[in-house]
Structure 1
Amino acid sequence: MKRIRKRIVTAGALFLAALFLLVGRLVQIQLISTESFSKHNINLIDESVRQRTHSFMINEGRGLLLDRKGEMISAELKPAIILFPFIQDQKGTIDEVANILGKSTEEIKNALKDHEEPFVIADDEDQITQEAMEEINGLQRPGVYAQYISRTKHSPFAGALLGVTGQAPEIIKKKYPDKLEKGTITINTKIGKTGLQQAFDPFLISEGETKLIYHVDRSGSPLFGLDVKYLSPSNPFYPVSVKTTMDSTLQGIMEKAIKVSHIKKGGAVLIDIEKNELLGMVSVPYTSGLMKNQMLSQHAPGSVFKIVTAASAIEHQDLANRGTFDCNLGIDGKEAKHALGTLNFSESFAQSCNRTFGLLANEMMKEDPNMIDEYAAKLGLAGTTGWRGQVYHYPDFAQFPEEETGNIWGASSDKKVPLAVSQTAIGQKNVQVTPLAVANMVAAIARGGAVREVKAATEIEYKNGTTFLSFSDHKKENKIEPYTAKKLQMLMRDVVTNPKGTGRALNGLPYKIAGKSGTAEKGDSKTSNKWFAGYFPADQPKYAMVVVDLDYKGGANPVLSAYSDIVKQIYENDKKNK
């Protein structure tokens, strides 16, 4: 008997303990941890409301990227008809909608049948006219709305430049704790992950979604009648728009030309010389949206870097006029792979003689071991090239946050090694620069020697079109002399006009070209970087452009082919718009 009683007491105690645990758990869920339940900090109140709320997002509230003409490039507006499931219980409503849209009643009923959330008929499949939208809204039927909905573009057009958005809860918590606290964003709000979306994210990030919502009971029926609410942010100035410098037409021309040229890794950069604004940028491959932008990454420039060595030679004791050079020899004094004969300085530049620039660099480095560094800086190849400065309360705002800095030397001791100096002078060894920086260097030469930072955006506008802030021009302090720039212009033009020049394939185009080619050998020796950096028209400079193939395997030169194609189409576009 005692044993039975003991078992009953034990069972009772266990039951009471389990009951207390259950009550405690309910207290925790209902009263204590309602806003931060479990290790995942789940807000149970929000989740409960979410389960009882059906909504349709019209606009996620993120700011827009515009091209230089003010056209949207990061998102698109589409006419749409939004149908809430409860209209199935409204007599005649579906018939009216079907009649206006030219569809059958059964077609719309079947579409709604399996939907618990609002169903949208968008302009992707249907030609929804403005008249149809006005007629739909004129019905004034609960659960039936005609709206222009905004959706982010996920197309490869200018993908590397514009970048992508996505969810990143940890970054949200770190960068925007004040917005989280205010409730204008959640940890699932999309942020810019790459490109201009990343650069301007502090301004573009959503200040609240615009959506249609209604509440349902457990069975899915409307909880408060058929009242659908329209919710939107209260601030009339947001979302803002970033007006970029990109020319959509020229961007399209560049993308098509790079694709046709079969450049698999590389791309192109186009700059407006007068304003020093980025007109277009193509980087391939581009598939996931998170791939590295090759135009903002370091690469060996090869003979394009001879522009720096030439500028130094022109400004110091006029070494460029010292005589001729034996271009049958390479930089090591041995027989060259491509014998070019005896050439003077201008001919050496046009035909890209390595021997000439190796010798000149060693002579100059004896006088000043920082000579190459100094002229690389004067031509904008040191540091970064993109616009950077104080913006609002951001002390070091960068329009190209992914841009890598240029590099000239691997070790300072190389400056005392003749072969290392020669290799550096022709853009090999440890020289690494970005295509954006090279395009900017060319723009500076075409302009007369003054280097500026490249802008990708000119201003940020409020929702009502007024200016929130503008980006002023940033000039670099160091620059080459006007005489040096003029001499470089002549040398670069000769690269194209000289019958033996490395850019002679570009002679005879509708716009006269001045530039410099480059081939940088890689460690694997199977591929090389193939460049052409130039500006046009040569007599009235308007555009600076770089095209580069970072996986060149020999044979026909895709860089010159793409360069030629782009120049021709830009000429036709300019002629059409005169």
Structure 2
Amino acid sequence: MNNPKRLYYVLIVFSIVLAVLIGRLAHIQLVDTRSFSKHQVNLIEESVKQRIHSIALDDGRGKMQDRYGELLAEVHEPSVILFPFLKEDEEALKKLSPLVSRSTFELKNKLEGRKDPLVIKNEDITRETVEQVNDLMIQGAFGQMLSINEENTFASHFIGSVRENPGMLREKYPERIDKGLISISTKTGVNGIQAAFDPFLISEGESKLIYHVEQSGRPLFGFDVKYTAPSNPFYPVTLRTTLDPKAQRIVEDAIDQFKITKGGAVLLDVDSSDVLAMASRPLPPHSNPLAEGTANKMLETHFPGSVFKIVTAAAAIEEDHLSTDPDRVFDCSKNTYNEGQEQRDLGNLTFKESFYQSCNNTFATLLNEMMENDKDITDEYAAKLGLTAFSGWTGDVFHFEGLKHYPGEQSSMIWNDGQDKHVSRAIAQTAIGQLNVRVSPLSVANMMTTIARGGTKKQVRAAHSVLYKNGTTLADFKEKEIPGDSLSRYTIKELQKLLKGVVVDPNGTGHGTFSQLPWAVAGKSGTAEKGEKGQKGYNKWFAGYFPADDPKYALVVVDLDAAETETATNKTFAQIVQQLYEAQQQQPD
């Protein structure tokens, strides 16, 4: 009697459990297919992924060219791609074996058990190999120039890095994500011009080779491999940068050879103010391009020291402050405040001699005198030299308002407290680039182009244009002048003479290092105390342009962790000049 009842209850429980399982499966299949579990797994996508094997040929991100139209930040590596199902095609492997320098047995062994395609890259695989493999027309065997975005040290601060950063992506492109144009796993530029031009460069989809497989791993539709790519024929775009790769290598080699471990150099084209080379140290680790202390030092502001005397000199010349007594001399044995002995006993020097030998007392005295009549004179003349405005190119491009070529550039500062303009010692410190004066190497380099060019101030470009995939122009970054007043032609000529004198005069601070170079140099050195508690060492600068009589390049080298007697900046500057000269001589006529 009890056994049939017990069986009846068991059947009821079994039926309930079965109904729950069927209901759960139905719910998964019909409701949760796109957001299964707390991890929001898309079951349809995962199912497709299990049946599709593929290899990416290109990530779809926009490419970068140097100023001559050659690819930057990318290695095109000749490669041979073999799909796993080729292990069953003995004849195909025999044909491929001599081309890839692998035995048939080795190829079969490497393909055995693989789910993803085998990519063969070595010194034996050449462009010719790529063509030979494709000529065989073997399904599942492809020769390809693979595009690999390698993050190396070359121009790393200028070019920047790309990373997966869902938070940054959502902040920058919410509409594109909502419309499905990009996914949250799309890589985005996090610094350098990768970040500056990310709205143009961001990928709209990768191109790849794909094929479908059964559960066993055998091809589902035969040995049929398909090529897929975004449907937009205009993308990915190409960014034509201003960088000169040969000059970049010369600059990087020089700063590394002379052991500038904190600082760097920036080289501009005098005619256009384009960046030809930019190098900063220390380099960030590959794992974290935004690591603390590794930002681009060429865009950050630092104490300039005597380089700032150019501004004080410009004011004195333009305001005709020296004409009442052209033979006036200054006691350069006295210190900056005119109340004690200077370390260097230079004796009595004229204004020009003071500039050549970088006498602090002269420029402290002149600025104190000039500021009795005009408290804003340093701001005015720094602006006329283009030193206080942002140097980087800024403008509206399509719906991108205020696009900046150097979004990490810091603004210059002359006075931190307006009350200092009434304090003699503060004025004296400011005249020689100390106290609160902070400028970036990029802005100083651009100031040198302004002087070398004859007074016209221009914004510094990082790129010339953005090109569609078919080569037509999407955006063109024209040269732009920095607005505001400029120095008179007379003052510019006088500044040019002073900067040449630093090298030509036997007592000039640049005479020993630069006087024997094949190109004459005009420039100014600078040494600044860091002025911050706990910081040791000095900021050492040399800023100039060359050839002095027919300027082509403006260059700034800065060592932000130098001992007082070190001259790594001058040696680095000199080597860059020498090697640029030699590189030009090797160019065909």
Q: Output the TM-score relative to the length of structure 1.
A: 0.94
| 2:134 aligned to which of 118, 132, 137 | 137
The alpha carbon displacement at 1:552 in A equals 0.3
Q: Which position in structure 2 is the counterpart of 1:250?
A: 247
Is the CA contact 2:193–2:405 (under 8 Å) kept in the aligned structure 1?
A: yes
Structure 1 segment 426-441 matched on structure 2, within 5 A:
426-441=432-447
Distance 1:38 1:355, change over 3 A: farther
Name the counterpart of 1:32: 31
> In structure 2, the residue corresponding to 1:366 is in which secondary structure?
coil
Aligned position for 1:310: 313
CA drift at 1:451: 0.9
Q: Does 1:479 align with 2:486?
A: yes
Inter-partner Cα distance in structure 2 for 1:253 and 1:264: 16
Q: Distance in 2 between matches of 1:560 and 1:353?
A: 19
Q: How far, CA to CA, are the matches of 1:396 and 1:433 in structure 2?
A: 22
2:543 aligns to what?
Answer: 533
- The structure-2 alpha-carbon separation of the partners of 1:130 and 1:348, relative to structure 1 and needing over 3 Å to count, comes to closer
Structure 1 residues 297 and 525: CA distance shift in structure 2, 3 A: closer
Give the CA deviation at 1:38: 4.7
Map 1:162-181 onto structure 2 (within 5 A).
162-181=159-178
**Residue in 2 that maps onto 1:351:** 357
| 1:568 Cα offset (Å) | 0.7
Alpha-carbon separation, structure 2, partners of 1:413 and 1:14? 89
> Which sections of structure 2, spanning at least 5 residues, go unmatched?
none
Matches within 5 A, 1:138-537: 138-288=135-285, 289-290=289-290, 291-319=294-322, 322=325, 323-332=328-337, 333-477=339-483, 478-504=485-511, 505-522=513-530, 523=532, 524=534, 526-537=536-547
- Partner amino acid, structure 2, of 1:157: F
For residues 345 and 33 of structure 2, the distance between their equivalents in structure 1, rounded to whole angstroms, comes to: 80
Contact 2:453 2:551 in 1 (8 A): yes
Aligned to 1:100: 99
The alpha-carbon distance between structure 1 residues 19 and 413, as it changes in their structure 2 partners (threshold 3 A), is farther
Structure 1 stretches of 4+ with a deviation exceeding 6 A read 8-15, 18-21
Aligned partners of 1:320 and 1:345 also within 8 Å: no
Does structure 1 retain, via aligned residues, the 8 Å contact 2:527–2:539?
Answer: yes
2:551 pairs with 1:544:
no
Measured in 2, the distance between the counterparts of 1:24 and 1:335 equals 94
SS at match of 1:295: coil
TM-aligned CA deviation for residue 383 of structure 1: 3.0
Report deviation, 1:22: 5.6
Q: Which amino acid aligns with 1:512?
A: A
Over 3 Å counting, the alpha-carbon distance change for 1:445 and 1:320 in structure 2 is farther
In 2: Cα distance, 1:294 partner to 1:408 partner:
19
SS in 2 for 1:367: coil
CA contact (8 A) 1:300 1:529 kept: yes
Q: CA deviation at 1:28?
A: 4.8
Counterpart contact for 1:319–1:360, Cα < 8 Å: no
The structural deviation recorded for 1:140 is 2.5
Look up the SS of the partner of 2:556 in the other structure: strand
Contact 1:240 1:463 (8 Å CA) reproduced: yes
| Aligned-partner residue type, residue 561 of structure 1 | K
Percent pairwise identity? 47
Q: Distance in 2 between matches of 1:402 and 1:11?
A: 72
Aligned residues: 572
* 8 Å contact from structure 1 (residues 184, 206) kept in 2: no
Separation of aligned partners in 1, 2:535 and 2:75: 46
Is the CA contact 1:251–1:279 (under 8 Å) kept in the aligned structure 2? yes
How far apart are residue 40 of structure 1 and its match? Answer: 4.6
Is residue 81 of structure 1 aligned with residue 68 of structure 2?
Answer: no
Moved more, 274-283 or 167-176: 167-176
**AA aligned opposite 1:513:** V
Range with greater deviation from structure 2 (215-224 or 20-29)? 20-29
- Partners of 1:313 and 1:14 in 2: how far apart? 100
Q: Secondary structure of 1:294's partner?
A: coil
Match of 1:66 in 2: 65
CA positional deviation for 1:182: 4.2
Who is 2:568 aligned against? 558
Instruction: Name the counterpart of 1:569.
Output: 579
SS in 1 for 2:371: helix
For residues 282 and 58 of structure 1, the distance between their equivalents in structure 2, rounded to whole angstroms, comes to 31
Equivalents in 2 of 1:175, 1:513: separation in Å? 45
Q: Note the C-alpha offset of 1:371.
A: 1.1
1:281 counterpart SS class: strand
RMSD: 2.4
Please give the TM-score of this superposition, normalised by the length of structure 2.
0.92
Name the SS of the counterpart of 1:359 in structure 2: helix
User: What is the CA–CA distance in structure 1 between the aligned matches of 2:461 and 2:227, rounded to whole Å?
Assistant: 39
Q: What do the CA deviations read for 1:281-315 (whole angstroms, capped 9, x no partner)?
A: 11111142433011111111111011111111111
**1:534–1:546: 8 Å Cα contact kept in structure 2?**
yes
Contact 1:156 1:287 survives alignment (8 Å): no
Cα 1:525/1:132, change in 2 over 3 Å: closer
Could you tell me which amino acid in structure 2 is paired with residue 111 of structure 1? K
Give the deviation of 1:331 after TM superposition: 1.9
- Say if 1:138 and 1:372 are closer, same or farther in 2 by CA, change over 3 A: same
Relative distance call for 1:37 and 1:488 in structure 2 (3 A) is: farther
Cα gap change, 1:21 to 1:554, in 2 (>3 Å): farther
Q: Which amino acid aligns with 1:194?
A: N
1:173 Cα deviation (Å)? 2.1
Gaps of 5+ in 1: none
The verdict on how the C-alpha distance between 1:485 and 1:114 changes in structure 2, with shifts beyond 3 A counting, is: farther
Instruction: Judge conservation of contact 2:389–2:412 (CA < 8 Å) in 1.
Output: yes
Counterparts in 2 of 1:226 and 1:444: CA distance versus 1, 3 Å: same
Shift of 1:47: 2.2
